[in-house]
Structure 1
Amino acid sequence: MKKTQVAIIGAGPSGLLLGQLLHKAGIDNIILERHTGEYVLGRIRAGILEQVCIDLMDEAGVGERMHREGLVHGGIDLLFQGERHRIDMNGLTGGKNVMVYGQTELTRDLMDARKAEGLETVYEALDVAVHDFDSQRPRVTYTHNGQAHEIQCDFIAGCDGFHGVCRASVPRSAIQEFEKVYPFGWLGVLSDTPPVHEELIYVNSPRGFALCSMRSHTRSRYYLQVPLTDKVEEWSDQAFWDELKLRLDPQARKNLVTGPSIEKSIAPLRSFVTEPLRFGRLFLAGDAGHIVPPTGAKGLNLAATDVKYLSGALIEYYREKSEAGIDAYSEKCLRRIWRAERFSWWFTSLMHRFPEQGEIGQKLQEAELDYLVHSEAGSRTIAENYVGLPLDFGRD
């Protein structure tokens, strides 16, 4: 039997970041992950970091490569009615920016740091189960290499994603779930081609939404809104590039460099929130507790905020023998989560085609976009939400 202070379920960015922050504070932790490390690194995910996430990487001591290789962006382009309009996020928010740095790279940095510190991460941990989290002595059991293991701990952090065991282990009577599933998905292509533009382009077109993003100066990420009935196999690379061009403005179409895809997938869009996020000595963080549509680039950043609140609460518990932080964890997280959910829902509703809304829906979207880009107040609403609201936003 093993003993630790905090058992962390899930070795994605939230679990690894939490583990690193706790280690820096002298708090012992073990991470369990059902997949291999290679599988975790192979997952293609978001790449837009808010300042909160950047600061946490620095606090964890793993921000050096991020600052060296990440791309700082001070604005985004909105394309509608065939024309692009820049939202000057830096100018509208008093100097705030976002950083393009792939989640895969962030995860790799955290993995490398954990390995260098000799901290325990158990990959391919099967049959993970959480026990007695409503008591003072929670336990985690799992199987590894055919052997059964048990960990006794003070707390369990559920960082194991939407399909993980932690949320599923909570009694249904103790939990409330809110969900909205969108009637379309994002067909995403990753290619080793230079980006079409130095900043992201969000596209509202009569043919549907598109997004021109990037991971570096030589690697691009593009998305198309497609019906949920579409299959990846139905989309050749050529078909993808041809459709993307039809949704872009003439200048972007001219600048677009195409090439073979190195990853192609269709992701459904949903809004999902669990309340509460604390169940005795079990805490949910990241995708285990909430999902946002990717339109607003909030998923990874919300997970980072959860980790900031949770790490701070646990450090306070061990250093000051105070439970104030862990008692407030769920409420603090949910207030920020619902604000991000609102922005992501609004931005998704603004930029995508909803066939049932017909032509009038397209006209109303275009009218709202026209207002937003020509109103300083409207543009600031987009800018301050996109770069991330301050952690103390709205506190009395």
Structure 2
Amino acid sequence: MKQKYPYIFKALLAMVFAIFAFLIPIASVRLVLGLIAVIILSFNLRKFTAFFITFTILFFLIPSLIAMFLTNFQQPAEFLNNLFSGTVQFSYNSSERGYDYSYEDNLKIMRAEKEIPANKVLDIKGDNININFDNESDVIEIPEELSYEIENGILKIFYDGDWYNRRADISIGTENTEYESIDIQSVVLDVRGNLKTKKLKINSNNTKMYLDLIADNFDIASTTAKLEGEFIVDNFISSNTTSNYKINYEGNNFDMNSTNAELNGIFRSRAISIAGVDISAYVSVEKTEFISISSNMSNLDIKYLDLWEGSRTLNINSKIGKAKVGVKEKMFTASGDSAENYGELIVNTEGRYNVEKYTFLGY
């Protein structure tokens, strides 16, 4: 009976590697894990071990490499590079992964050429969309291929065709126009320009925004989000997997939930709340009464630029990391006068988290 245990263990171990090979989308990792699973299983065959390994290499590994190479034959050099960088996958339709968007080097751009009726409530859906909020225009322009309709006071913009290897450019005029609500859903989204609206909602897999935004409410949910610009928003709500924000923010409440987050800029906000796994924040703050950082790991550099009376609170709930916290001790004016900071900053941490507090002078 005891002699069977090694066989069972090897079979289970091979099964584990096989499952990982099936689940992981990276081609090179799949091949390695699959080959390991076969080799481990072959040790249970004793006399046929050498034959089984040779058979696998000849009829599994080599054909798989050839199939992937033929699938990417238009860019063979790029394929060989991507194979080992982890960006080549076995051939399958992206629709099997839950979305229909895909593109190659010969991306077809559907340009904004058709003017459509203006409306203050917009709903835009697609797979690969570039939107330019143009403050020198007061019209909305979309590609000829896209469709639109107005339903219950909402201008809906969409595309009934196949998004494969296509991108739609949309121009939305913002000159002397304040929109009520804009809702955008896209697999890949690039947003630029200047916008004033009461509400902006973004739902995307991959989001890039180079935007100056004035809004009551901004809500973004994205797998990957890169934001740059000036955001004057009363309530800023962000829920992403990976966030890279280089923004200046002014508003009442900034709330971010992101697995990995990097934050840079000046924040003039009453409250800031950031939750995630790995957080890096290099920010200067003003008028900020309360900051909450909750994560497994964090690297923080927070500088208070203003003076205050009473108390302010900084809560850091991180297991690993360090924080530098600067408080302005005295402020000088252009006339040479000065004012001192009589306020108190209460810093709360857990465990042995390292906080370095310092003071500085400034204008």
Give the structure, 1 or 2, with the largest relative contact order (CA under 8 Å, sep 6 or more): 1
The two structures share one fold, judged by TM-score above 0.5: no
- Give the greater-gyration-radius structure (CA): 2
Give 1 or 2: higher helix fraction: 1
Q: Name the TM-score, length of structure 1 as normaliser.
A: 0.16
Give 1 or 2: higher strand fraction: 2
Q: Name the TM-score, length of structure 2 as normaliser.
A: 0.17
